[in-house]
Amino acid sequence: MQTFTAVAELKKWVKEIKNSGQSIGLVPTMGFLHEGHLALVEKARKENDQVVMSIFVNPAQFGPNEDFDRYPRDLKRDQELARNAGTAAIFAPSVTEMYPHESTISISAGTQAEKLCGAKRPGHFDGVLKAVTKLFHLTEADRAYFGQKDAQQLAIIESWVRDFNFPLDIRRVETVRETDGLAKSSRNVYLSEAERKEAPFLNKALELGKQKALKGENPLPDMADFLKKNISGKIDYIELLDYPSLSADVKNEAILALAVQFEKARLIDNKIFTLKGN
């Protein structure tokens, strides 16, 4: 496995792979890898000749007072995990390598970014699109892999690629969970011991809500009551929306999503499913 920190090095490797007629699968990450990231690599390996993983904590998607500086980083550990998973190359640029020039051109994620997490994180998904657009171009990936845990991000990226005819496919990968149901996340390390015991109730609330939604009932009040009885964290939102449009009018696929703010960690989770009769 090779690790590139410079754009020129990455592009040279990509050119060699493409000239040999091989396909490239891209796994974009911010590092501090866990089983969820490795599941992306596993699927990418099955569908491509070579897999490149980006490890870049993207400042463009962090707002004021968010956790950019304290976001967990451990490149040596990540390299070992990525190598063992079968990654062919890692692209781990510095911020100045990724963004060498101050740009006056901006990207807007549109109305999809105004719901769920985006409602309280203005500009976050604009920053996500800024980074992934560069990664798509630099890696010339045939396919890129994103987890369903970050479902709003996935929906926006799918729309971005579709609407602007990017020459790659976006692949969804199901959320990887701990044995107690908690969605894998790099931010789980911020949970206190007591909060870690409460965190699985997020997934239990989603399952409760899904069953009610499938019966044609409004799941949101019962989900809120359930969480208030079982967790100390503050509910940021609980919503049932169409997927991937994120509109209020559910037509076929639905997403039931929630976010909870604990003392030092904000956790998100969701379930994507088809409503009966739709």
Q: Is 201 annotated as a binding residue?
A: no
Q: Is 127 annotated as a binding residue?
A: no
Report the distance separating Cα 129 and Cα 127, nearest Å.
5
Enumerate the H helices of the chain as residue ranges: 7-19, 35-47, 75-85, 95-98, 124-139, 151-163, 193-198, 201-214, 220-230
Q: Is 16 annotated as a binding residue?
A: no
37: annotated active-site residue? yes
Q: Is 250 annotated as a binding residue?
A: no
Q: Is 148 annotated as a binding residue?
A: yes
Q: Is 36 annotated as a binding residue?
A: yes
98's CB contacts (< 8 A; 6+ apart) are 56, 58, 131, 134
Q: Is 211 annotated as a binding residue?
A: no
Report the distance separating Cα 268 and Cα 169, nearest Å.
25
Q: Is 61 annotated as a binding residue?
A: yes
Q: Is 32 annotated as a binding residue?
A: yes
Q: Is 209 annotated as a binding residue?
A: no
Q: Is residue 226 exposed (0-12), middle (13-18) or buried (19+ Cβ within 10 Å)?
A: middle
Query: Which two structure tokens, joined as six digits, stand for 59?
Result: 């400042």
Catalytic: which of 37, 101, 124, 137? 37
Three-state DSSP state, 182 = coil
Report the distance separating Cα 54 and Cα 276, nearest Å.
39
Q: Is 176 annotated as a binding residue?
A: yes
Three-state DSSP state, 123 = coil
Q: Is 153 annotated as a binding residue?
A: yes
Q: Is 37 annotated as a binding residue?
A: yes
125's CB contacts (< 8 A; 6+ apart) are 61, 109, 112, 113, 118, 152, 153, 156
Name the pairing type of β-strands 253-261 and 234-242. Answer: antiparallel
Binding positions for beta-alanine are 61
Per the annotation, where are the binding residues for ATP?
Answer: 30-37, 147-150, 176, 184-187
Q: So which residues are the catalytic ones? A: 37
In the annotated binding site for (R)-pantoate, the residues are: 61, 153
Q: Which residues are annotated as a binding site?
A: 30-37, 61, 147-150, 153, 176, 184-187
